[in-house]
Amino acid sequence: MKKLLTLFLEMFKIALFVVGGGFAILAVADEVFSKKLKWTDEGEIASHLPVFQMVPGIIAGSTAVYVGRKVAGVPGAIAAVCGVFLPSVIVFSAVSAGYAMIPLGNRFLDAAFLGLRAALSGIIAAMIVKSWKKCVAGSVHVLILLLALAAISVLKANPALVVVAAAVSGVALKFAAARRVSPRKFRSSLWALPLIFLKYGSIAFGGGYVLVPVYIADFVGKAAPFLQLSWREFADVMALTQMTPGPIAVNCATFFGYRMGMESLGCLAGALGCAVAATVCLLLPGTLLLYIALTSLEKFKTSRVVQGIMTGVKPVTVAMMLNALWAFLSMSAWTVSDGGAVSWHPVASALVVACAVATLSGKVGVVKQIFAAAAVSAAFAAAV
């Protein structure tokens, strides 16, 4: 029991105080559980990152499953995963409830958020560069990447279906023709909420940024089936996910679950319940699949089925990150008004490049970049 409590508290503290997503949580967990608690060898957790990326799910959740399973089996995995997602639920539920009170009309705050979005653009660009060699290794991968980009960006196909089609290419057309749930049908009942986030958890290969195009398709714009957030609001929420504890995918799930609950039920208790349900369902598929995979690790790694799935899915994750990058650039480096006028933002553009270079160098932390970009953008707004 003492080990379970220690597992929960250590993962809770890591998720609460480490800002910057799953990779940052993995690095800190590797140090805590090897040097402080001596439960793993130094570098052991990080060395399993390729395995974590072979199954859907977020890196922070996979880290918790690995450590928890090694220390205390199934109860340990459950305790560690609960420790990872609770800080996001607590902190981002508060952010969700107080979002309307943030004075976004303030000129300096607007500029700060523009800087945040520029920083995110640069960070995503750097992640694409880092992922390219691992995920796009030949002409077949390039072809899959281009087809995925065309399907998502040009044909406006549901990104979730593109991932499934890449893994099961023989039924791509059938999945692309699947109908989406209408907003009216969803609002009549919350039965669909667990299924929605279970789906997200099942396609999250490679981390939270991969889900950004999926979130855009389902939650942004008047035609979105579950929420109709404005592009501006979505961009600000994404920026907030990087300023608060927890992985980006979990923070987003908490926010979207809260908003869906509030719109459907209209009460705080119901909204909080939906936030928790969305977060749990997001984590569940990856947690279960990774636990099963770890029980027969070598056989899993050499499985032809797994290798075949990853052949299709890896380049699609890069395509989805490219799509997310374009979305963030269009909300930072330039913006398009409702009338179609394009406004170029030279300061934000410079910040995009600076953050991309800083991320690639590895010398400046993601959190420092985000806050520095916000401060620089606000300072320029004050100077003009």
| 59-68, 139-148, 168-177, 274-283: the lowest-pLDDT one | 168-177
Question: What is the structure's pLDDT at 64?
Answer: 93
The CA distance from 285 to 88, in Å, is: 18
Q: Which of 282, 383, 279, 335 is nearest to 121 (CA)?
A: 335
Per-residue pLDDT tens for 277-327?
Answer: 999 999 999 899 889 888 876 666 677 766 676 677 778 777 877 877 887
Q: What percent of the chain has pLDDT over 70?
A: 82
Confidence of residue 367 (pLDDT cuts 50, 70, 90): low
CA atoms 19, 20, 21, 23: torsion sign: negative
**Could you give the number of structural domains in the chain?**
1
Q: Are 275 and 96 in contact (CB under 8 A)?
A: yes
Chain centroid to Cα 158, Å, comes to 17
Per-residue pLDDT tens for 85-114?
Answer: 898 889 888 888 887 777 666 778 778 878
Confidence of residue 206 (pLDDT cuts 50, 70, 90): low
Confidence of residue 239 (pLDDT cuts 50, 70, 90): confident
Q: Are 350 and 5 in contact (CB under 8 A)?
A: no
pTM (2 d.p.): 0.68
State which residues form the domain around 341. Answer: 2-383
Q: Are 74 and 305 in contact (CB under 8 A)?
A: no
Q: Does 145 score more than 70 pLDDT?
A: yes
**Averaged pLDDT score across all residues of the chain:** 80
